[in-house]
Structures are given as structure tokens and as C-alpha cells.
Amino acid sequence: MVGALPRNSVECEKFWPVYEAYQQDLAKIDQRLRQLLQSYAADYRTQSLSDDKAQQLLDAWIAIENDDATRRASYVPKVLQALPPKKAARYLQIENEYRILLKYDLAALVPLVP
């Protein structure tokens, strides 16, 4: 991510507060996903996943995905105010690729609904 990081004090002053806020919002999304997965894991272990509970989990998952997309989109103008467009695009691309890798790892660990 070195090429995406700001290198001058003006960029740093603008970028790091946006970065910290972005990471805090990301942590909230991750917490919701963690709770969803814990709920699924409990039902999976006890083999008690009902159709109603599966529907609730699906609805919660879609809500998390939608909120995550909205959150990411809301930070684009903020990052563009802090960094030049090319550097902003690089930073956001790296964040996106990192999230994709995390989701890939998670998908490999979470068993399919029986």
C-alpha cells in the first residue's frame, strides 16, 4: 500500500482522519457480520437452522452487504478531498482488494447450509 499512502504533510493532515473514520465504520460492519456468523454457527452446530431463521440470516446478510456498499461509496468523495484522484483510486482499490481477500478466506471457513 506504500504507493497509495500520502507522502507530504498536507496530504497526511487530510488523509489520516478520513482513514481512521473509514476504519471505524468498517469495524462496525465487521461486528455485524461477526454477530451474523456467530448466530449461524450456533444453529449449524446444533443442527437447528429453521427456514425462518435462514430467511432472517439472509435478510441480515443482504442488509450488511448493502450498508457496506453505501459506506464505501460515501468515503469516495472524502478520500478524493484528501488525495489526488489517482492516489485516491489506488488507495480505494487496495482497500477493496483486501476486503475481497478477507471474504474469500471467510467463505472457505464457513460451511454451507445443510
Torsion, Cα of 95, 57, 25, 79 (10° steps)? 40
Residue 1 predicted with pLDDT over 60: no
Mean pLDDT of all residues in 30-53: 95
- The mean predicted confidence, pLDDT, of the chain is 92
Q: Give a yes or no: residue 14 inside a domain.
A: yes
Total number of domains constituting the chain: 1
Angle at 19 between CA 85 and CA 27, to 5 degrees: 130
Please indicate, yes or no, if residue 90 is contained in any of the structural domains. yes
Residue 114 lies in a domain: no
> 21: Cβ–Cβ under 8 A, 6 or more apart, which residues?
78
Question: Is the pLDDT assigned to residue 3 strictly greater than 60?
Answer: no
| Confidence grade of residue 10 (pLDDT, cut at 50, 70, 90) | confident
Examine residue 54 and state whether it is found in any structural domain, yes or no.
yes
Is the pLDDT reported for residue 72 higher than 90?
A: yes
Q: What is the mean pLDDT of residues 61-85?
A: 96
Domain for residue 16, yes or no?
Answer: yes
Of 10-14, 70-74, 76-80, give the lowest mean pLDDT range.
10-14
Whole domain around residue 54: which residue ranges? Answer: 2-109
Is position 60 within any domain?
yes
pLDDT of res. 35: 96
CB 110, CB 38: distance < 8 Å? no
